[in-house]
Structure 1
């Protein structure tokens, strides 16, 4: 995860110039940081639902100088989806390095797992446009310092768009109902638009079941969660009723039955 998204179970560790595969089972990753996440949830499944011209519609260029579009990707894992989103929205094909369609698109991509972040940095084909950082998004002090530092480079106080793809469940399981509400509040205050892919409740049960099968301690908050059931609806309700956002569009569901929901902060 990222800042609290797909995080802990396996991965690749750089050590003395060698690459060592972790041996933990995926179910042992209580934060969802699966080492090869894109193999079973490929970026293409999300991209096929998102219009390539989406950012052009949301942020049409104003004046002769194109304003940089700033994006925040929370729970970037090893960066496969971050890179795919960048290429998709700029209509980039392999071998291309830039596009005039949007002007400058800059993404700050964060994840709680330093191993996955290191891999993302190493393999990123667009290091000038995508910045990968290790961040526990629920740590207010480090979050504020890091995000403010990035935004200040562009004279901004908020991001144009945030991406929160299959992250909400891991925040919820590890920080409870209150943590989920705080997480969504932070995102709503940081982003003009927010694209969210909530995990359905069946994924919560599956994650808890994997831990039990491995003989590991259950998620601390799983049994006490009162926000449950229709998680896409619940998260949408929190964002719209508690944090002043409005639902712009539902782009449909991925093949693994997760909705892609676009929210906008009200003026």
Structure 2
């Protein structure tokens, strides 16, 4: 049951500089409310993926604060573990274990982290494979799957942890064009069900159709954020308009 207007992700002035002086994030602030779908767009190297990795604790921020579902992402190991179990993340690469079957890939974290029995884990895995349209691949191995199928398994694996938030880091960028649609459909279904989602994407049609809001980043800074329909019709910043002219049918 969603609570209207309840913030679930809160970034306050987060900054991140990599060795060599590359400033990946420059005082980025963002609040994502429960049930919201926020599309994160911008040119390559603008800090989009770094932002997601910081939210999940995979990268350390230099300054600012991150709070997920009321829990600060700080130096406390318990807080970090809680956040990682509450936040599902789907990467560009599928990161499936090649020596495990599809079912085993989805079962393993349920058993080790959520402490479910093998029977409980398998039941949940079967439910999720049905959800992503891969019931017939339950005993297959990653090498036997297409790229789109692997990514759908990766989504099912993330959902198996019953996360409160799903982060998608360019989930379709490594796929052949004909496979992109099947992954985007799963993401559409999740959005329709009310899953809170923060999605880095180059798929502008998807962002316009599914996102409730768009965050546009460039050179590590927030250039613009507004309701998706308004952004694609009337972006307020010239940098946003320039970007859309290059990647989208915008005049």
**Range into which the TM-score falls when normalised by the shorter chain:** 0.3 to 0.5
TM-score by length of 2: 0.33
Greater per-residue strand proportion: 2
**Greater relative contact order, per chain length (Cα 8 Å cut-off, separation 6+):** 2
